[in-house]
Structure 1
Amino acid sequence: MTREKKLGSGLYFSAEELFPALLLLSCAFLKTLAVTATDAGASVLFLTESSGQNIPQILIATAVLLFIIWPVLSALKEKSPLIPSLILFAAAGVSFLLYGVASFIPEPILAPVAMVWKEGFRILAEAAFWLTAFRFGVFNGKTRLLLVLLIAQTVGMLGTSGLILLTTEHPETLILYAAVLSAGTAFLLKILIDNGSAPIQLRFVSDKKKTGKTGNDSLQKNLSLSFFISSGILFFAAGIFQYYFLISAAEFSAGQEDILSRIYSTVLAGTAVVTTGAFYVFFKSRLSLFAGLFLLPVVLLAAAIGGWFALFGIIVAAQIVFGLANSAKEAVLQTIPLAVSLRTGFKQTLFRKSVIEPVALAVSGIFLLIIEQSATEFEFLYFTGGLAVIVLMVIVAVRQAYLAQILNMLKKHLWRGGKLLPAGKEINRHLQDCLNSRETENVLYALRIIEESITPRFLHYLMSALHHDNEDVRLYALSKIEDLKLSSAVPEILRLLEKDDSVAVRQNAVRVICRLGGAEEREKAVTLVQDPLLKEGALTGLLAVGREGVFVAIKCVADLSVSPDKNDRLLAAAVLGNAGNPAFYQPLQSLLADPDSDVCKAALKAAGKLVNPLLLPAITETFRYSELREEACAALLQYRETAFNEIDRILDSQKYPVQFRILLTRLVAHIASPEAENFLFKHIQINDRRVRFKIIKALALSGYKASGKAVNIVRLCLYDEMETATGILAALHAFNKNKDEELDPSLNILKSALNREIEYIKERVLLLLALLFPSKELIEFLNTYNPIVPENEKTIKITDKLLSGELKTLCMPLFEDKPLQQKLALLRPQFFPPVLPINGHIQDILETPVGEMADWTRACAAYTAGYAKDIAFVNALTALLPDADAIVRETAVWALGKILPREEVARLIAGNLEDSSVYVARMARFVTDGSGQIVF
């Protein structure tokens, strides 16, 4: 069977991916228009007004701007998901302001300001766009999307080339157009981020504990030194070249705006054509980005030759190539530090951008300022030619240092990720040897490195891996082709399906052709549904696509899900999960309630892949079984914020065990997002203090800070905790006055439990204070706080430092090392605890709602009530008989037996004779007829 190659084969976008991809494409086009328009408008305006004067001063001022702008961008990178959009809005605002004040400030002042700002605008626009593109994943296997984005940028250059010719008389209007375009780009970026397609919570690795340096220390130091020296010299050379181009353009045009406009229009059009050609060469050859770096000395040499022979056309051509060389330089310099480690990669890039390059640019400006008055033009051209040789030597040196470090790391399998520049025969030979190896780990290691290097050769190597001798390699290649949606690989996969000896490979192959192929391939898969060896792959593929043959697959999976054979039901769960199509979830409803735990686990795994909200009730029901909780937690975490409505229903219900509700609270806390924090805070006043404690602790330790109305809610929670503590202190004060020796032992146990309650309240109060005053000292203290062994002195010191005014008056007495009576005297005027006798306080504890106090405290109260033998306790004790806690039920049964005659108590505790807890049932039999073992 032959497949006709059609236009667009190999490109695939789902409806879900198409919208954000188009948005990103539009952003690339508009951003390029805005950046190039600002550059051209500012340059033409400046050269017209200044006739090429004060260019060194412009370079120095630009260096100062760079020194400021990069640290600011670094500080903003994680402040908000919308930071890229806000950055671009800010850049548009500055451009609007710059254009707006043009009518009030003389143009000779506006022109140099615009000339300096154009570099700041470019940095802000490029940073905002590529940060979003990075988070969208264009560097993660989406090579074709990256190529389309680069083409959109070249089209943007051509658009600006035409726009310049329409504004020859008023070049400053280009700045206005750029501001409008950047505002539109910022709006599109906001839509893209709000759409949720870009994982904005991604964080840069900058912690030493996360990654460390790898490889040989001497090689690392040599590479780092070469990197900083080369980046400084390259930026210095760029400043020298830009100076000479601007001087030459000003002299050639003699200050005429129409000539300058045509020059910049030609430069942009030429840059677009050259860049397109470079893209083609890069994607069709084995050349790395290092090759583009060697264009820089060529540019300098061409400028010197053009100046020597007075050929301005050569200088314009050099400026065109300089745009391409500058892009290659930036890509290479961002990639080189990753050879040391991911952590130092980010830090070295930031240091280069904020220190090395501004200093190099400032030095070039100062140097030019000095030689302008003393050197002749030919002497400057000699210097430029010599600088080209120096730049060439520097590039060769840094390339050698990079290759030595990379080769050392590759041979020792120390490469930890990041873009690799596959330059040099030795690196390519080593990677090829790994690809030809019979060891799975060597082949997969090489494939992952080549994929991360964003080279077009990866697709070629991936197709070759389909025919590797090792089964695991072929499976990996199939999986990667499926992930990248390479429909052009379908003919090769069909041959694999027909001829491969491995059943696993053929199963995966039939699944992949269903996803990537057409109707013909899916019809072939339908014929394989009855094949016992290929059934799973065929069903998975057909369900995943949901097109031809889907009804056959649905019926087959539905039959498997109700089969008496356990293996059939396991197969149904695996197919539904691997298909990943949320529309086909119904069979999982019954599989999640399957009596076999293995089937339930497989169904939970599948439910976590489908992320269909309709499965949430069935998933949460599985939490009742301890053997399923691990898989249930993993599944629920996949739903993230989608599961909050179902979790909300359970948290507020006493039908579910407290352990289950606490576990759900921990799960929500594990979802690090503002929505999760808001959800937890919404339940901060939940009735059950045990669940409330976990909520407050999760919020406090995450660094949450209450603001606005939330502050009042936290303060109300503080008053509630202090009111409860005051009531407990009043009870302890009453118990200390007991004169009944028979009651004293049981009261001592109850007092111990109440003192433990006070310690728990102290911890909750500290956590609530952390929501109001999230100091680093308090958070660190709470991380190690143990209410069983409290650190009273440190607690008093921290609270005294944090609190003031009303809060200090309310909370400090609880923490201070004072006698009980003094604490109560300080708190009583604020909270008015009830004045009750001993039995009254016991009764109050017995009637405390479930969750307000620990189960052990309530059991101790029931135990004390049994010794008090007061008939008034009967109703409260009877209410404890169906309690969820076995110790509370057991103690309540015993206490009723102590207070009431046997015949009367037998009627009350009849339901406990068959209690699920053997200890409660045994106590009920003992109280009823004296049988069983005496426990108390």
Structure 2
Amino acid sequence: MQVPAAFKRLLLIRDEEWVLVTRMFAFEFFQGASIALFLTSSFPLFINYLKQAELPISELSKVFILTSFLLWFFGWLYNKLENMLSVKHITLGVLVFNALSIFLFMLFISGNESGWFYYVMLAWFYVLYLLNNLEFWGLASRLFDVRQSRRLFAIVSAGDIPAKFIGFVAAALVHQIGSQELLWIASGASLLSLLFFHRLISLDIFQTELHTLHVPHTVHTTSSNSAKEFYNLIMGNKLIRQVAIISFFTLCCFLIVNFVFYGYVKKRFETDSSLAEFIAWFLAASTAITLIIKVLFSNRIVNQYGIIRSLLITPVIVAIIAVISFFGNDNVLFYLFGTMAIIIEVLRSAIQSPVLLATLQPLSLHQRLQGHTIMKGIMDPVAFFIIGVLLYVLYHFDNNLNFRILSAIILVMISLWIIWIFSADKNYILTLSAAIRNRSVNERDIQLSDAESFEVLREKVAGNDESDAAFVLRLIKNQHLANKSDLIVIGLKHSSPIVKHEAINAIAEISKQEANNHLHYLFREDADPGIKAAAVRMLSHIESIIDFSPYLHHEDPQIICAAISGIINGRFPLQLDEAEKKLRRLASSLNPINRKCAAEILGEINNKTLQPLILNLLNDPNDEVVRTALQSARRMKSPEIAETILKSFAGKNKTLVFKMLEACGIAAVPVIANFILNNPRNESAGKLINIIGMNGGSESHRILDLMIDQLPLCQSQILHALHLSRFHVNHALQNKYENIARNYLEAAVQLPFKILFLKQQSESELLINALHLELASLRDQLLSVFTLLYDGDKIQRAKTGLKVNTRESIANALELIDQITVKEFSHPFICLYEQKDIGLICAELKKSFREPYLSVSLIYDDILRDKSHDYASWTKACVIYSMVKKKAPVDVYLLEPLRFSVNALLREIANFALDARAMS
């Protein structure tokens, strides 16, 4: 049967989610029906027993205490089985266990049971409910991501609500058909849930997700290890701890309110049948209200107001009623606590529980499942135990039990409940951020273990693998390691020049005299000129008095360079003039090898008085000399050099130029900015803008902020550079950057409509794919603006999550954006980038934006003239290609400017289109 699209939209369910959601709903329906029927049989039996035995309602506190121990045990057992069994088997196990439990209680009902039977039967309802919750939410947490959880958790879990309604209505007939017969129906409903589970696991998504995500947990063999694991998880993860405590206070208030209300109920009704009928209709009414709220409003409330505000709804409303209860008489109290019982039951089921479970979705799968178990298998028993003991003690001191005292206790718990909700807000966002980071960052820390590793290190340095030996020498350079000098000496004697170089670099770590002897020995005995030169350079660092004359007049250029560098850097006064003269001769030599040598020396000595030499070498006719001069200029960090290079940018090695400009630091920023303003269409403008951003500081911020107004064509690069510079928008600039975001969003919103229209017109796939790229580009530009307006680090993590492009990473990223940006921006952004189907995107956008009037010619004109957005050259080239391929009319005035584009592809295809027009 075809389901109307409007109905799906009403429930916020997408087409591809419909089958999964409906099967989960049906699966939960029959589980819920069986448990509801069990409750409608057990609770009237318990209340009837109290009346017949003339026992007070405080006996319910004993049920709470018994329940706490049962829940502890079964929560622990479920956690153990979850570690050992597959998802399919543990779910089947729970379904069979619940059906068998209900069947056994049915067999033992005779009407002459001992009193303990009724206590156990009512407590057993909570066991069935716990196991149902653990297996159902374990499935849901695997099958839905964090964004889907906000929309769909309330829907998929609503299956048990109509089932409860049917069960509670049936309970009104319990005095006619009997509790035993109701339990027959409950057993049958439980068995039917097995059938619907089979239909559920036949879906492809079930197989894919569970096979992808299911990772067996470590199996612990002792209870102490298990307890320690739970303790570490609760204490180590703030979000799990906070959610568990919120769940604890929710259940505490629920138990107290129900205790008070049923205490009044027990007094008000004289006959068993009237009591059972009232309880049934009361529960049926609350369940009907829950169904309406859960299906129609819950997901919309969470979507609109977010996690934290949604969690506040229940405690705030209950607190207001609890305050009012201080001023009413017994009649008023009965109705107030009845209202409070309905509200807390409805909101706990419709909003509180689904939202709490959605809050855990950013965690890893293992933590999610453990979090569910902690909430239901640890904190619920604690709540039952504490409230049971509290009620028992209070009744022990006051047989009549002043219900206003319990109202005061409820208010105290609600206050703590609200405090913990606010504390969870920050950690939810941090967890989302961490979830994205952990999926995209994989770092490796390497540490040494002192003397214990020395023999291993010695073997590595002395071994034949030069990469291992060099790596160890680099590693120990800054480590406080005993006998480090032994390793360096072994390295100096190694056969590999690479290892010897590393040992020379580390030689300052050993004694000065020993180092001096080894370096002189290397210069005399080693055959490699490079090793001799390295030894001379290191001598200038460790010796204060040494005659470099033999090295200055050596026949090998490498050793001459090392000597000049050593003299000038070491400031040896007696030989300084001679070294500088030698350097100038090398720089003006006709031999390019000598000029290259001079360029290398200038980089090593970084002497500003010799800066004119490097300026000459930067314009050397030999490419190798220029490349070396650029590398040296990078070390000199001179704005004068930066200006000289930018004036003669063409023909230079761009990578080296960029590195040199980066090294110049903040001093080069005005020079680079001036170059960009005068050459905005230079192909390297984007990279140069990034260099300004990487320098950081207030000057970079000021210049980039000015450039964003002066260079609209470079806006996206400037925004990225502002993020690199750690710029954050202040109040004075807030409106300016929000308008930029609005402009990008307006352009992005137009694109899905254009893509859909072109698809319907069977236009070129090349152009359609180009517009998809434009949409992705606008996403990155929007994120760049968001980094400046909001928490930049978190937005960057969201950007990384979107680029990882898995279902879970995208959902976590969009949830993070939704949490930290304003709704004006987050809602359309999520609509644009949450799903892949362009038709669904357009349908969603129509709710908030006007659909543009479109035609193929209007789209072509918009792209080529950059009317709504500065389109990429590739997109424009695709438009021209589509026009030529279709033999569409070509506007000469439109294409003529593109013939002079800086982009070679666009330039060529514009010329081709004009030539084709001229020939036709």
- Whether TM exceeds 0.5 here: the answer is no
TM value normalised by structure 1: 0.44
Larger RCO, structure (CA 8 Å, separation 6 or more): 2
TM value normalised by structure 2: 0.44
